[in-house]
């Protein structure tokens, strides 16, 4: 990895060094070094099966629950090792939220979906606080106007795009620092996708966002930085502009122009 | 119009083999329907047989007898205490009343036949009546009194020539029957005794309540333990245990235990609960423990299936907002799996309800008259009661056996209905 591609020390919110992921000895991610700056959108792109999801799930230790998955290397959040012995994955996941590829609301009411996180972390003292927090989160996710009259409705009856925005509201309700998104628009139609993209653009003011996408146009539209993965390797990373217009690696060039993938 | 000239390009003739495929489907449908009808037919036949045999157990034949409750015959003073009433001579009241009913009967053996048409429990029924209503003392009261079981069978068979050939009533008793019947002193009514009393040597006094209560207590203990332990074990195995070889061995053994013959659990219960821990014989507590061990593997297996059916994305969603594993399981996964776990448990209970063999081993087969008032009291259970009565030589018990099977079936249907309702209630939430 070219050293000058890295950010200056201290400028990175998340820093990964030499990260490898193995599933039952099968390597899925090979020695990835990356710096993810705060308050900006970083896109992870690459052909399917190249390990984007695997890498993303390292960042909030979601891989811990996969029985045969081994993660090695160092990952820090604000210069603290997230795999360190005193780190509690529960606390870590409160600070690094996640939105999944397929919308996965709880089979409960819309209100309960958003209120669940704040409730278990004791973020709201009173019922009124909780209601305010739910309203604020739904508002920031751009869903409040659509659901404010039916907060008691089962979340599973919302449309796919609404469900995904609900999942984003659920993630931001616990006030994390970082939000990881794994192809959040892959199951959505173009209008819902546009809404979520606009939302991501707003959210970056407050949060650090890492988004996996298989759509290069989407990466180009919403991200400030882009990392290109290929067959488990991080091939190239940098400013989105330069990765797309001036790729240093031949494979990146081939992918962004649609020749591989 | 066009079909007459050239066949449609979309008809089944247009594609070779399609007609054969349709025929195969037809054959399969007929076979399936046939299978269902056959099993329904057998079920109906079985039910009809049981009801035909057993409905008589819910009926009793009663005779209108006029009793004189005078102090002299009862052999008590004018000022009576409760104790006197309990020990009064009701037998002589009954005998006097019966003699009055048929004054022409004389001689020792003839009189014995006369008294024998009443049920053996009449004395106690009258005693309870007088204790409850002392105001009847000194009066004459016409009371519909349950007849003996042979008399009941004779009446139920219609009292005609055919029933005369099969009855064990004496010729005098048959004559008395005709006389009383003409006088309108015989009728059939619902037999509450069968539902409200415990076992007895006398068929007309025997009831299923003791066995029903025993079954309720036994199954209650069994359900509490096996649902609690079974679901917790399933949750642990499914959600927390790492999938190493120890767990695999455990899993295989749980599957094996589910297939162990039930009598083995009875032997285990005998050795462990009775001989080692010294718990009382025939107690509902021990029965419940034995049935708990028997149903536990089944409940673990069905609960694990219910947990596996919860989509992993729900677990990920909860973990991703910072829920701990325990919170994830108890707030999200277990509630979703609950209907399935409940259904599995109640199916296990239904199996436990019908079990006889393990209960025989721990002494629940004893002849027990009083319904149990607690889990440590000697008690019976419905299937054991069926077994006991089926073994009994008295003819009237054949009817009681079928009646007890009917009660067992109603119990079973109630339980399954409860399972469906519970399932609905918990599933309805989403
Ligand atoms: N749970 C798992 N067990 C085994 N192999 C896995 C598992 N998850 C992912 N993989 C493998 O790891 C590689 C990378 O997968 P993934 O991270 O999902 O790729 P992407 O998200 O870029 O499509 C693939 O070859 C995939 O088969
Ligand atoms: Mg993926």
- Measure CA of the first residue to CA of the last residue in chain A; give whole Å: 22
| B194-209 pLDDT, tens digit each | 998 888 888 888 899 9
Whole-angstrom distance, CA of residue B349 vs CA of residue B343? 10
| B90-129 pLDDT, tens digit each | 988 999 999 988 888 888 888 998 999 898 888 888 898 9
Provide CB contacts within 8 A for B30, sequence distance 6+. Answer: none
Beta-carbon count within 10 A of B296 CB = 22
A50 lines ligand 1 (CB under 6 A): yes
**pLDDT the model gives residue A225:** 94
Confidence category of residue B4, pLDDT binned at 50, 70, 90: low
From first to last of its 261 residues, chain A has per-residue pLDDT tens of: 444 455 555 578 999 999 999 999 999 999 999 999 999 999 999 998 999 999 999 999 999 888 899 999 999 999 899 999 999 999 999 999 999 999 999 999 999 999 999 999 999 899 999 999 999 999 988 899 999 999 999 999 999 999 999 999 999 999 999 999 999 998 888 888 998 899 899 899 999 999 999 888 899 999 999 999 999 999 999 999 999 998 898 898 888 887 765
Provide CB contacts within 8 A for A97, sequence distance 6+. Answer: A60, A171, A172, A174, A176, A178, A179, A180, B320, B321
| Nearest chain A residue to B326, by CA | A90
Nearest to B341 by CA among B307, B291, B297: B307
Report the b/e string of A16-29 with b at 16+ CB within 10 A. beebbbbeeeeebb
Q: Rounded to the nearest 5 degrees, what angle is found at the Cα of A55, between the Cα atoms of A54 and A57?
A: 70
Mark which residues 315-354 of B lie under 8 Å from A by CB: 315-324, 327, 331-332, 336
Is the CB of A184 inside 8 Å of chain B's CB atoms? no
Whether residues B317 and A117 touch (CB distance < 8 A) is answered with: no
Phi, psi of B296 (to 5 degrees): -50, -50
What would the DSSP string read from start to end of A116-131?
Answer: HHHHHTT--SSHHHHH
Q: How many A from CA of A84 to the centre of ligand 2?
A: 26
Is the CB of B313 inside 8 Å of chain A's CB atoms? yes
Q: Which fold has domain A12-256?
A: Rossmann fold (3.40.50)
Domains and CATH numbers, chain B: 61-190 (no CATH), 209-426 (1.10.3720.10)
Domain boundaries, chain A: 12-256
Task: Supply A145's token pair.
Answer: 């106007």
Give CA A167 to chain center in angstroms: 12
Three-state DSSP state, A232: coil
User: Which of B320, B321, B336 is nearest residue A107 as measured by Cβ atoms?
Assistant: B336
Whole-angstrom distance, CA of residue B289 vs CA of residue B170? 50
B chain contacts of residue A171, beta-carbon cutoff 8 Å: 320-321
**pLDDT the model gives residue B290:** 95
Whole-angstrom distance, CA of residue A97 vs CA of residue A83? 16
Task: Supply A40's token pair.
Answer: 């900006």
- Report how many Cβ contacts below 8 Å link chain A to chain B: 66
Task: Supply B224's token pair.
Answer: 């509490």
Element (H, E) at A239: strand A233-239
Q: How many CA atoms lie less than 13 Å away from A115 in the CB half-sphere?
A: 19
Report the b/e string of B229-259 with b at 16+ CB within 10 A. ebbebbbebbbeeeeeeeeeeebeebeebbe
Report the percent of chain B where pLDDT is more than 70: 97
| B343-378 pLDDT, tens digit each | 889 889 999 998 999 999 988 888 888 888 888 888
CB A51 within 8 A of CB A28: yes
Q: How many A from CA of A182 to the centre of ligand 2?
A: 7
Site of tokens 């079954």? B215
Beta-carbon count within 10 A of B359 CB = 31
Chain A interface mutation, best of B242, B322, B335, highest count of A Cβ atoms under 10 Å: B322
**pLDDT the model gives residue A74:** 93
Phi, psi of B394 (to 5 degrees): -65, 135
* Cα dihedral value A43, A47, A53, A55, nearest 10: -70
Q: How many A from CA of A49 to the centre of ligand 1?
A: 6
Whether residues B331 and A116 touch (CB distance < 8 A) is answered with: yes
Is the CB of B242 inside 8 Å of chain A's CB atoms? yes
Question: Is residue B36 predicted with pLDDT exceeding 90?
Answer: yes
| Nearest chain A residue to B335, by CA | A107
Is the CB of B369 inside 8 Å of chain A's CB atoms? no
Beta-carbon count within 10 A of A161 CB = 21
What would the DSSP string read from start to end of A82-146?
Answer: TTSTT--HHHHHHHEEEE-SS----SSBHHHHHHHHHHHTT--SSHHHHHHHHHHHHHHTT-HHH
Give the residue with greater pLDDT, B427 vs B352: B352
Nearest CA to ligand 1 atom 16: A51
Whole-angstrom distance, CA of residue B34 vs CA of residue B170? 52
Task: Supply B367's token pair.
Answer: 């002849």
| B220-258 pLDDT, tens digit each | 999 999 999 999 999 999 999 888 889 899 999 999 998
Whole-angstrom distance, CA of residue B81 vs CA of residue B76? 9
What would the DSSP string read from start to end of A144-166?
Answer: HHHHTT-TTSBGGGS-HHHHHHH
Whole-angstrom distance, CA of residue B53 vs CA of residue B406? 10
Whole-angstrom distance, CA of residue A191 vs CA of residue A194? 5
Q: Rounded to the nearest 5 degrees, what angle is found at the Cα of A68, between the Cα atoms of A65 and A73?
A: 80
């Amino acid at each position: 990895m070219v050293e000058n591609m890295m950010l200056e020390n201290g400028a990175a919110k998340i820093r990964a060094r030499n990260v490898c992921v193995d599933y039952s000895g099968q390597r899925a991610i090979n020695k990835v070094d990356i710096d993810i700056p705060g308050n900006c959108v970083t896109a992870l792109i690459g052909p399917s099966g190249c390990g984007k999801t695997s890498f993303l799930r390292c960042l909030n230790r979601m891989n811990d629950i996969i029985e045969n998955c081994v993660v090695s290397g160092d990952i820090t959040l604000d210069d603290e090792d997230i795999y360190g012995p005193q780190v509690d994955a529960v606390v870590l996941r409160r600070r690094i939220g996640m939105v999944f590829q397929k919308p996965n609301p709880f089979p409960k009411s819309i209100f309960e979906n958003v209120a669940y996180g704040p409730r278990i972390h004791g973020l709201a003292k009173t019922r009124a606080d909780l209601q305010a927090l739910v309203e604020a989160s739904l508002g920031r996710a751009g869903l409040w106007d659509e659901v404010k009259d039916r907060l008691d409705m089962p979340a599973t009856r919302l449309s796919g795009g609404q469900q995904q925005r609900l999942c984003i509201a659920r993630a931001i309700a616990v006030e994390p620092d970082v939000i990881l998104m794994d192809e959040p628009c892959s199951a959505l139609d173009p209008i819902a996708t546009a809404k979520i993209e606009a939302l991501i653009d707003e959210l970056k003011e407050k949060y650090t966002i890492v988004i996996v996408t298989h759509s290069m146009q989407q990466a180009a539209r919403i991200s400030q930085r882009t990392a290109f993965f290929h067959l488990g390797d991080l091939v190239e990373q940098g400013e989105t502009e330069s990765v797309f217009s001036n790729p240093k690696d031949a494979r990146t060039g081939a992918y962004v122009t649609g020749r591989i993938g | 119009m066009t079909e007459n000239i050239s066949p449609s390009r979309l008809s089944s003739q247009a594609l070779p083999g399609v007609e054969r495929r349709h025929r195969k489907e037809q054959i399969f449908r007929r076979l399936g329907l046939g299978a269902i009808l056959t099993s329904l037919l057998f079920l109906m036949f079985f039910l009809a047989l049981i009801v035909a045999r057993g409905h008589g157990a819910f009926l009793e034949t009663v005779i209108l007898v006029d009793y004189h409750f005078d102090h002299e015959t009862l052999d008590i003073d004018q000022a009576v205490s409760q104790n006197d009433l309990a020990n009064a001579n009701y037998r002589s009241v009954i005998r006097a009343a019966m003699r009055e009913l048929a004054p022409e009967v004389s001689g020792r053996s003839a009189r014995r036949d006369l008294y024998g048409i009443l049920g053996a429990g009449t004395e106690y029924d009258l005693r309870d009546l007088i204790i409850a209503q002392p105001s009847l003392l000194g009066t004459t009261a016409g009371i519909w009194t349950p007849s003996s079981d042979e008399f009941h069978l004779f009446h139920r068979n219609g009292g005609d020539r055919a029933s005369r050939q099969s009855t064990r009533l004496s010729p005098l008793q048959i004559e008395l029957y005709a006389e009383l019947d003409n006088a309108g002193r015989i009728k059939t009514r619902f037999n509450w005794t069968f539902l409200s009393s415990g076992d007895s040597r006398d068929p007309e006094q025997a009831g299923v309540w003791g066995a029903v209560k025993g079954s309720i207590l036994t199954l209650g203990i069994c359900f509490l333990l096996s649902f609690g332990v079974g679901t917790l074990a399933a949750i642990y195995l499914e959600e927390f245990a790492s999938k190493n070889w120890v767990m695999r061995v455990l899993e295989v053994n749980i599957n094996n235990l589910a297939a162990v013959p039930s009598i083995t659990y009875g032997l285990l219960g005998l050795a462990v609960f009775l001989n080692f821990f010294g718990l009382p014989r025939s107690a509902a507590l021990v029965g419940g423990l034995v049935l708990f061990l028997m149903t536990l593997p089944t409940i673990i297996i069905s609960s694990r299936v219910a947990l596996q059916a919860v989509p992993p994305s729900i677990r990920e969603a909860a973990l991703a907002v910072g829920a701990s594993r325990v919170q994830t399981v108890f707030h999200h996964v277990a509630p979703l799996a609950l209907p399935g776990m409940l259904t599995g448990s109640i199916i296990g209970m239904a199996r436990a309800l019908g079990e006889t063999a393990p209960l025989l081993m721990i002494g629940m087969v004893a002849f027990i008259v009083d319904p149990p008032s607690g889990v440590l009291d000697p008690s019976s259970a419905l299937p054991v009661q069926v077994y006991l009565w089926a073994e009994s030589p008295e003819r009237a018990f054949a009817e009681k056996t079928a009646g007890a099977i009917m009660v067992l079936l109603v119990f079973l249907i109630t339980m399954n209905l409860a399972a469906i309702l519970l399932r609905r209630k918990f599933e309805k939430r989403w």
